[in-house]
Structure 1
Amino acid sequence: MEFLKKFNNNVALVLDSTGIEWIVIGKGIGFNAVKGEPVDKTMIDRRFIAEPTHGQIDLLQTIASMDPEIIDVVSDVTKEAETYLGITFSTRNYITLADHLNYALKRTQEGVEYTENLRWEVKKLYPKEYEAALKAIETINKRLSITLPKSEETFITYHFVNAQNDEGKIENTVKMTKLINRILEVVKYHFQIELDEESLNYVRFLTHLRYFIIRQTHGEPVHHEGIDQTVLEAVKAKYLKAYEAAEKISTLLNKQEDWSLSSDEMLYLTLHIFRVTNRIHQENT
């Protein structure tokens, strides 16, 4: 690779041996860079193909205009999050987080805080992503000598959840959070119980709901070969109360999102509801 253009000390445009242009990010990678000189690949933390599309140009202009110190800390916190969560940040996810942090720092310096009413729900629904956000904020505060407001715990958690869904948008993640919380409220009210948030079945239920909502948002309802109405009727007969809760959820989603749940989706939703409520329901009866 050889240098083509320096954006700032941490961001540069380079050319590889096949003639493809890349935006590369790395601490000091653009410092004293001279056009035509080889690039030290060990200094590269991330690289993105410099595609001449409008959206990509906007993203690259965003990152090129940022303070190099912000780029440096974003590279570090995303690497930490990738290791902790077992995920990979796409180009868009990475730059969206960097852009968010850039404006969050400006708001903090100006004493402006955005309120986020779903902080408690986010902490419960995405515990691992929330923990990763706390680690990220600790790193950011220390490195940039700033104290981000409490609302950033929620916003950065959203970014970490969103990074697991390449085509997703933050607004979809917020929507998913509200829907999951509403579904849990339906289940708790239907059975008149509190759910055990530490149980494996609760975690599995949340995971199912997350991917179910992502599929629905993308218009990709689940379908499994061999599952027919007869199987659903058998499950309905055996786990009637759980099925009734699933029906309430189906009605809610149809009214609120215009989603129609298939027999497959009703089957799996019923089974998850039964598992997450069974022991607790028995103890309370």
Structure 2
Amino acid sequence: MKFIKAFNNNVALVKDDSELEWIIMGTGVGFQKSKGDLIPEEDIRRKFVAEQSTRKPIMQVLNEIDPKVLDVSVEIIKNAESSLKVTFTNSIYLTLADHLSFAIKRSNERIDYAEASRWEVKNLYPKEYEAAKEAIRQVFDKLDVLLPKSEETFLTYHFVNGQQENKTKMEETLKMTELINRVIELVQYHFQIKLDEDSLNYTRFVTHLRYFLIRQMKQDALEQEEVDKTLLELVKTKYEKAYQAVEKIAKLLETKYGWTLSSNERLYLTLHVWRVTKR
């Protein structure tokens, strides 16, 4: 790889023997280099093609980002990969750096976005959420900028969507979050209460919803024998109001997505609803 230009000490534009241009990342790949210098392959941690159709926006993004922000973004990704034990796709390097650049600008201008899904995201993706909080701490430590609370959600989405082995795409993530919000709103309206989002039962409820929705999206039925009808009738009688809420949830899912709740799911969901709403 022959050096063309540096974006900072650790990010550079190079070309290979066939004159194809690449964006490369690695410790020191852009430090004190001159045009035409050879970059050893072992020094390159990540690389992706700066294709003609996309080179202009890629170059614009890199040129518009403060080198310090780009360095912090790379460091955040390395730490997140280590803590989550995953490998992110190459695209996260640009998307995260670009996002952080604008997030820092908004923070400096005291602009924040309202977001109502933080608690759901926190419970859906607890490890990625913790990585997002750590990223905010890194930005503060390195750049002396305190990002707003909403960034916990936005950065979590970046970490979820940037995982190579994660089969839940952003559209599915947003769909799941919306559905969980709808179910929680339905339960709260049915019982005329506000659920305690810090409680263990709330966490269990959201976790159960998450795995149920993932199975539905993948059309992967719960492989268990149907629950005994006597037991289901007992639960319906003992936890009547919770079961009524589950019936409303079942109707919502069937009407909106054509999903059917099995007797097993109705039983488990009733118990979760009862636990999360009891005082």
TM-score interval, normalised by the smaller of the two chains:
0.7 to 0.9
**CA offsets 1:177-211 (integer angstroms, 9 cap, x no match):** 23213224545777899689536954751441463
Following the alignment from structure 1 to structure 2, what is the Cα–Cα distance between the partners of residues 182 and 166? 23
Deviation at 1:103, TM superposition (A): 0.4
Which of 236, 256, 266 does residue 270 from structure 1 map onto? 266
Which residue in 2 is equivalent to 1:145? Answer: 144
Structure 2 residues not aligned, in runs of 5+: 237-241
Deviation at 1:109, TM superposition (A): 2.1
Deviation at 1:46, TM superposition (A): 2.5
Is residue 249 of structure 1 aligned with residue 249 of structure 2?
Answer: yes
Larger displacement relative to structure 2 (22-31 or 119-128): 119-128
Which residue in 1 is equivalent to 2:131? Answer: 132
Over the residues paired in the alignment, what is the CA RMSD in angstroms?
Answer: 4.0
Which residue in 1 is equivalent to 2:101? Answer: 102
Deviation at 1:152, TM superposition (A): 1.9
Following the alignment from structure 2 to structure 1, what is the Cα–Cα distance between the partners of residues 268 and 56? 44
**CA offsets 1:12-43 (integer angstroms, 9 cap, x no match):** 23345787653212343223323443214454
Deviation at 1:113, TM superposition (A): 2.3
**CA offsets 1:114-159 (integer angstroms, 9 cap, x no match):** 2323334433443332221111111111111222222222322232
Instruction: Name the aligned partner's letter for residue 28 of structure 1.
Output: G
Following the alignment from structure 2 to structure 1, what is the Cα–Cα distance between the partners of residues 115 and 20? 42
Q: Is the 8 A contact 2:4 2:12 kept in 1?
A: yes
Following the alignment from structure 1 to structure 2, what is the Cα–Cα distance between the partners of residues 117 and 49? 37
Larger displacement relative to structure 2 (120-129 or 238-247): 238-247
Q: Are the structure 2 counterparts of residues 23 and 269 from structure 1 closer, same or farther at C-alpha, using a change threshold of 3 Å?
A: farther
Instruction: Name the aligned partner's letter for residue 117 of structure 2.
Output: L
Instruction: Name the aligned partner's letter for residue 239 of structure 1.
Output: L
Normalising to structure 2: TM-score of the pair? 0.72
Larger displacement relative to structure 2 (190-199 or 104-113): 190-199
Is residue 261 of structure 1 aligned with residue 259 of structure 2?
Answer: yes
Q: Is the 8 A contact 1:129 1:160 kept in 2?
A: yes
Which residue in 2 is equivalent to 1:208? Answer: 211
Larger displacement relative to structure 2 (58-67 or 126-135): 58-67
> What is the number of residues matched between the two proteins?
266
Is residue 222 of structure 1 aligned with residue 219 of structure 2?
Answer: yes
Q: Secondary structure of 1:239's partner?
A: helix
Percent identical: 41
Following the alignment from structure 1 to structure 2, what is the Cα–Cα distance between the partners of residues 268 and 20? 57
Q: Are the structure 2 counterparts of residues 47 and 203 from structure 1 closer, same or farther at C-alpha, using a change threshold of 3 Å?
A: farther
Normalising to structure 1: TM-score of the pair? 0.71
Q: Secondary structure of 2:14's partner?
A: strand
Q: Is the 8 A contact 1:6 1:12 kept in 2?
A: yes
Q: Are the structure 2 counterparts of residues 226 and 147 from structure 1 closer, same or farther at C-alpha, using a change threshold of 3 Å?
A: closer
Q: Is the 8 A contact 2:121 2:129 kept in 1?
A: yes
Following the alignment from structure 2 to structure 1, what is the Cα–Cα distance between the partners of residues 46 and 118? 31
Following the alignment from structure 2 to structure 1, what is the Cα–Cα distance between the partners of residues 38 and 268? 56
Following the alignment from structure 2 to structure 1, what is the Cα–Cα distance between the partners of residues 97 and 106? 14
